C-alpha cells in the first residue's frame, strides 16, 4: 500500500473546498489589528488572540526593530549552547517577577512549551492527569513523556477525584489543566483542583496561554484570579497572545526551572526565540505593567459583546472571558455560517471536531482591548444578518 494513499481520500475538507466554504488559510494583507484587510476586503477581526491589541503598539514594534539592529535576525542555536542572549535572561527575570515565581524558562513556541515541560517533569512510573478539553500541545507533551496519562471529564471535580484515587500513592502525579479553555472560554475550577491536589499528593500545572493579560490582578492570570498563586506549582504561557509576539514560557520554582533546562528535549534541541520576538514580548510585558487598565477594558468589551449577541438573538456559550463561542452544532452548518459571516465583513474562527465533540461545533469569537463599542455593534449586526437573515 502506498503511504500517500491517505492524502487523496474523500474528506469534509475536500467537500468544503468544492462548495467554496473552506474557512482556513485566508491571507492577511495588513497588520493584526481590530480591523484588517484580508483577501482584498476590510474585515472586523473577531478571531484573534491579540487580547490586549499590542501587536500594533508603537513601543512594542520599536523594541522589535531595535533588537534586530542590535542582535541580528536570529540566534542560530539553542539556549543550551550559543543561543542565549542577555535579552532572554532579562525577559525571564522580569516575567518571573511579574508572575511572582522564582524562575522562568522560555521556549521557542507555546506548543513547544507544553511539550518540553510535561515531557521533562513526567517520567517513567509517573502519572499525568488531564482535563479532556486541554490543548492539543498538552496531550502531545503527555505522549512524549514516559508517564501514564489519565483524563477526567471537563471541569468535573468528582471525576478528577475518582481518577486521583486510582493513582498509586508511590507514584508521582501532575495535574495539568488549561486556565482559560481556548475553545469554550470557560475557566478551570482551580480552587477545587488545588484542594484535590493537596489531598492526594499531586502537583498542579496550569496552561495559562489564554489567561495571561485576561484574568487576575493586572492580568497575572488564572491563579491570581482565584488568589492561588502560591498553590500552583507550574505556569505555562505564550507570548503570541496578550504579549503580541512569538514564543512560550514556564514559570516555577528555581529547582523546577533548573531541572527542565537540562532535561527538556524540546528546549535543548530547538533554536532560541529570535531577538525581535524576545524584545517585543518584553516590551509588551512592560506596557501591560504600566497599563493594567487594559485588562479591565478587555473585560468590559467582552461583556458588551456577550450582551450584544444575546440581544440580537445569537445563542452563545456562557463565558467570563474574551472568548465567546457561538453554537452552530453541525460541521457543514458551521462552515456555511462562517463563510456567510466572512463575506459580511467579519472574521470568526469555526471550531470543528476534534477540537470540539461531535455535534458541538461552534464559531469562536474573541475580543481585544483595542476594539470599540461601535466596531463591535457593526460586527454583531453583520453576524446576526448572516446567521439569522436579519
Going from the C-alpha of 240 to that of each of 20, 50, 108, 269, the distances in angstroms are: 30, 8, 11, 21
Active-site position among 210, 225, 337, 371: 210
Q: Evaluate if residue 390 carries a pLDDT over 70.
A: no
CATH architecture of 9-45+292-388: Alpha-Beta Complex (3.90)
Q: Is cis: bond before 110, omega within 30 of 0?
A: no
pTM for the structure as a whole:
0.95
* The pLDDT of residue 21: 78
Catalytic site includes residue 241:
yes
**Residue whose entry in the numeric block shows the C-alpha cell 477545587:** 192
Pairing of strands 349-351, 361-366: antiparallel
Q: Are the beta carbons of 294 and 52 closer than 8 angstroms?
A: yes
* Residue of 241, 245, 277, 370 with catalytic role: 241
Q: What pLDDT score was predicted for residue 279?
A: 98
Task: Please list, in sequence order, all residues whose beta carbon lies within 8 angstroms of the beta carbon of residue 256, skipping any fewer than 6 positions away.
Answer: 103, 121, 233, 234, 250
Pinpoint the alpha helices (H) of 110-215.
110-121, 136-144, 157-166, 190-200
Q: Are 184 and 323 in contact (CB under 8 A)?
A: yes
Catalytic residue among 48, 182, 302, 382: 182
The pLDDT tens digits for 316-360 are 988 899 999 999 999 999 999 999 999 999 999 999 988 888 898
Per domain, the residue ranges of the chain are: 9-45+292-388, 58-290
Task: In whole angstroms, give the CA distance from residue 73 to residue 65.
Answer: 10
The pLDDT tens digits of the residues spanning 160-206 come to 999 999 999 999 999 999 999 999 999 999 999 999 999 999 999 99
In this structure, whether the domain defined by 58-290 belongs to CATH 3.40.640.10 is answered with: yes
Give backbone dihedrals phi and psi of 99, rounded to 5 degrees, phi first. Answer: -85, 0
CA pair distance 107, 293, nearest whole angstrom: 28
Amino acid at each position: 500500500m502506498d503511504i500517500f494513499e491517505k492524502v487523496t481520500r474523500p474528506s469534509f475538507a475536500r467537500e468544503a473546498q468544492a462548495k467554496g466554504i473552506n474557512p482556513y488559510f485566508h491571507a492577511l494583507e495588513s497588520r493584526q489589528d481590530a480591523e484588517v484587510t484580508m483577501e482584498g476586503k476590510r474585515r472586523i477581526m473577531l478571531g484573534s488572540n491579540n487580547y490586549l491589541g499590542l501587536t500594533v503598539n508603537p513601543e512594542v514594534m520599536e523594541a522589535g526593530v531595535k533588537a534586530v539592529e542590535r542582535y541580528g535576525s536570529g540566534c542560530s542555536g539553542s539556549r543550551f549552547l550559543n543561543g542565549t542572549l542577555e535579552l532572554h535572561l532579562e525577559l525571564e527575570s522580569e516575567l518571573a517577577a511579574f508572575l511572582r515565581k522564582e524562575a522562568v524558562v522560555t521556549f521557542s513556541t507555546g506548543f513547544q512549551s507544553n511539550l518540553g515541560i510535561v515531557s521533562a517533569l513526567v517520567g517513567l512510573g509517573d502519572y499525568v492527569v488531564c482535563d479532556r478539553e486541554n490543548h492539543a500541545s498538552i496531550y502531545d507533551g503527555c505522549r512524549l513523556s514516559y508517564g501514564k496519562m489519565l483524563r477526567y471529564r471537563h471541569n468535573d471535580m468528582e471525576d478528577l477525584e475518582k481518577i486521583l484515587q486510582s493513582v498509586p500513592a508511590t507514584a508521582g502525579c501532575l495535574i495539568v489543566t488549561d486556565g482559560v479553555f481556548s475553545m469554550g472560554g470557560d475557566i478551570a475550577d482551580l480552587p477545587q483542583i488545588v484542594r484535590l491536589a493537596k489531598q492526594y499528593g499531586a502537583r498542579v500545572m496550569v496552561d495559562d496561554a489564554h489567561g495571561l493579560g485576561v484574568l487576575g490582578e493586572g492580568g497575572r492570570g488564572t491563579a491570581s484570579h482565584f488568589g492561588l498563586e502560591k498553590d500552583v506549582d507550574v505556569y505555562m504561557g505564550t507570548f503570541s497572545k496578550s504579549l503580541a509576539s512569538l514564543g512560550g514560557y514556564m514559570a516555577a520554582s528555581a529547582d523546577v526551572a533548573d531541572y527542565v533546562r537540562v532535561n527538556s528535549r524540546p528546549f535543548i534541541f530547538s533554536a532560541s526565540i529570535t531577538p525581535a520576538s524576545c524584545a517585543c514580548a518584553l516590551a509588551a510585558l512592560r506596557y501591560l505593567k504600566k497599563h493594567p487598565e487594559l485588562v479591565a477594558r478587555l473585560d468590559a468589551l467582552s461583556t458588551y459583546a456577550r450582551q450584544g449577541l444575546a440581544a440580537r438573538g445569537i445563542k452563545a456559550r456562557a463565558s467570563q472571558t474574551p472568548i465567546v463561542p457561538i453554537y452552530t452544532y453541525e460541521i457543514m452548518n458551521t462552515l456555511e455560517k462562517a463563510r456567510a459571516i466572512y463575506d459580511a465583513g467579519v472574521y470568526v474562527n469555526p471550531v470543528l471536531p476534534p477540537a470540539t465533540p461531535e455535534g458541538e461545533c461552534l464559531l469562536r469569537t474573541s475580543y481585544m482591548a483595542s476594539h470599540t463599542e461601535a466596531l463591535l455593534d457593526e460586527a454583531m449586526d453583520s453576524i446576526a444578518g448572516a446567521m439569522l437573515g436579519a
